């Protein structure tokens, strides 16, 4: 099929932006392939899930149905960490619920000498994270392994920094966009009105952080006060919040 024919069909199914991205990043644009993609677009499948990749913090990442697609809001988390890491500071960083690995990879890529560990309870997600680590040539600086952050356990020593974009959406939240329906539930939803993961992290991460270390957390809209109380009750000291490009509080920072 000619590229202009494929573009027209895909534009009708998902809009001009989707058509442009797909035609520029898909090699096989046969008639059957284009028809399949058009059906996916009509069902609301995100473009990233169709082409299998997403850009994040200036880097390209592989993604699939087993991982949460990297989102621009999460770049606020990465920027907050980088802004605190001055010249000569090479921290050990732990990423809880790493998914594609986009957070830990972006941090280690941009902080000279930093070493990272990414953990996830999904072995399928870890396969994607390891692939991305290899793609960005960070195998010698980032380790990926399977673990849960909702119980204390061996996280390979103590860390200077912990980061996490945990599941924080309450079941039945009407604000969830259609694209999220194609992300894994375990990466999106949490019990206790979306706060269960924060409660687990607040209690267990004290065993994984060095004295004076920081934890950086992405939060959902309106969760700031709740998450702050959870962490302060667990012995953490509130440091600050960071807002995303829309002006919404997106990141909380605590010290221990």
pLDDT values of the chain reduced to their tens digit, one per residue, 256 residues? 788 888 899 899 999 999 999 998 888 888 888 989 999 999 889 999 999 999 999 999 999 999 999 999 999 999 999 999 988 899 999 999 999 999 999 999 999 999 999 999 999 999 999 999 999 999 999 999 999 887 767 688 899 999 999 999 988 776 677 677 788 988 998 989 999 999 999 999 999 999 999 999 999 999 999 999 999 999 999 999 999 999 999 999 999 9
Q: Tell me, what's the pLDDT at 29? A: 87
Q: Tell me, what's the pLDDT at 189? A: 86
Q: Tell me, what's the pLDDT at 174? A: 63
- By the 10 Å C-beta count (0-12 exposed, 13-18 middle, 19+ buried), 52 is classed as middle
Contact 162, 206 (CB under 8 A): no
Q: Tell me, what's the pLDDT at 157? A: 86
Q: Tell me, what's the pLDDT at 63? A: 96
Q: Tell me, what's the pLDDT at 152? A: 66
What is the four-CA torsion angle of 236, 241, 242, 247, rounded to 10 degrees? 150
Say what the pTM is: 0.92
Q: Calculate the CA 56 to chain-centre distance.
A: 9
- φ and ψ at residue 118, rounded to 5 degrees: -115, 135
């Amino acid at each position: 099929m000619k590229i202009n024919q494929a573009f027209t069909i895909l534009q009708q199914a998902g809009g001009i932006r989707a058509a442009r991205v797909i035609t520029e990043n898909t090699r096989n644009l046969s008639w059957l392939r284009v028809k399949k993609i058009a059906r996916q677009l009509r069902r609301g499948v995100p473009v990233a899930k169709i082409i299998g990749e997403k850009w994040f913090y200036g880097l390209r990442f592989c993604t699939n149905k087993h991982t949460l697609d990297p989102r621009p809001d999460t770049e606020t988390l990465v920027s907050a960490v980088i802004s605190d890491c001055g010249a000569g500071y090479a921290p050990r960083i732990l990423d809880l619920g790493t998914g594609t690995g986009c957070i830990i990879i972006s941090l280690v890529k941009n902080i000279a000498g930093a070493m990272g560990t990414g953990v996830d309870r999904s072995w399928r997600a870890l396969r994607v994270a390891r692939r991305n680590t290899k793609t960005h040539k960070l195998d010698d600086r980032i380790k990926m392994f399977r673990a849960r952050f909702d119980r204390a356990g061996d996280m390979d020593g103590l860390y200077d920094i912990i980061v996490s974009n945990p599941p924080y959406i309450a079941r039945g939240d009407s604000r969830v966009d259609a694209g999220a329906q194609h992300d894994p539930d375990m990466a999106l939803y949490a019990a206790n009105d979306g706060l269960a993961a924060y409660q687990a992290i607040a209690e267990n991460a004290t065993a994984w952080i060095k004295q004076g270390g920081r934890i950086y957390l992405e939060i959902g809209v309106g969760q700031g006060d709740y998450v702050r109380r959870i962490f302060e009750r667990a012995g953490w000291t509130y440091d600050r919040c960071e807002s995303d490009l829309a002006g919404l509080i997106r990141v909380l920072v605590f010290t221990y």
